Amino acid sequence: MTNDEKFMLHAIELGKQVKGHTGDNPYVGCVIVGAEMILGIGATQPPGKPHAEIRAFMDATKRGHSLIGATLYTTVEPCSFFGRTPPCTSAIIDQQIKRVVIGIRDPNPRVNGQGIRLLEDAGIEVTEGICSTAVRDYLIDWLDTYSCSSTSSIETFDAVSD
């Protein structure tokens, strides 16, 4: 098992702990790592409250860790738009995270690849698809809320969340 897989599996476990408590948002888990040591962890809170990435930043700050150059593991692509909360991509960029590892893209049409593009445009290395089957399995109830249309290689979705 690679370190990426190990930390993503930890993020999955964090996400599972908040299933049923995130409203229409996905129950995301996040782990921030520096020098192969966990700096902070988080999981998405109820609607309008911090997403997993922000909770992990808060945890790392409480522990006294700098996040500059760290790697962030998140089960779902970070949001990239203002909804009930500010975009997580902006916070990731502001924290000077060096690398983001994503389990799956957010199928929300307001995100779906946009978060990845914003991170890459800011010079952040993005790795996508780590433990994607395990992520899809634990998020199946949330993913089922999206109605897929596969008329092309790009999936489109009807539901919207943030």
Q: Which residue out of 36, 53, 125, 155 is catalytically annotated?
A: 53
Distances in Å between the alpha carbon of 68 and those of 32, 42, 96?
A: 11, 18, 5
125-128: strand order across its sheet: 37-43, 29-34, 71-76, 99-104, 125-128
User: How are beta strands 99-104 and 125-128 bridged, if at all?
Assistant: parallel
Instruction: Go through 87-121 and write b for each residue having 16 or more CB atoms within 10 A of its CB, e for each that does not.
Output: bbbebbbebebebbbbbbbbbbebbbebbbebbee
DSSP of 102-114: EEE---STTTTTH
**7: part of which helix (H) or strand (E)?**
helix 3-17
Is 53 annotated in the active site?
yes
Positions marked active-site = 53
